Amino acid sequence: MKILKALTVVCLTLVCLTTFAQKPKWEKVNFQVSGNCDMCKTKIEKAATGVEGVKTAKWNAVSGKMKIKFNPAITNNDKIQQAIAIIGYDTEKHKATDEVYNNLHHCCKYEREQ
């Protein structure tokens, strides 16, 4: 009976340690994303959260500031910014192609830096 109780305690301890070890450590980053309106906001946030490992993405249309929370074991800041640029929005690290930018809705066309 004592052996059964001891094994139960050991098993529960191992399960708890394994569970705690699997919790991701979220990293937060902020960066600029060019855009104008609520349509931009929806598309930018969707592109960011579509990257595997991204937990949250919030973009402010007034300031252009993007706030991301992600699991660095799965993705990184560069991949997230690249995903946003692919849909037509310039970021600090990646510029959208002219072709994709030109296909944005007219209200979404922001002033681009050369």
4 part of a folded domain: no
51 part of a folded domain: yes
Give Cα 83 to chain centroid, integer Å.
Answer: 9
In the numeric block, which tokens belong to residue 46? 């969707």
92 part of a folded domain: yes
5 part of a folded domain: no
The answer to whether 51 and 68 have CB atoms below 8 angstroms apart is no
The answer to whether 90 and 34 have CB atoms below 8 angstroms apart is yes
* pLDDT, tens digit, 9 for 90 and up, residues 46-103: 999 999 999 999 999 999 999 999 999 999 999 999 999 999 999 999 999 999 999 9
Q: Count the domains in the chain.
A: 1
* pLDDT, tens digit, 9 for 90 and up, residues 92-102: 999 999 999 99
pLDDT band at 42, cuts 50/70/90? very high
56 part of a folded domain: yes
Residue 21, CB-side half-sphere exposure with 13 Å CA sphere: 6
Per-residue pLDDT at 2 exceeds 70:
no
What CATH number has the domain bearing residue 90?
3.30.70.100
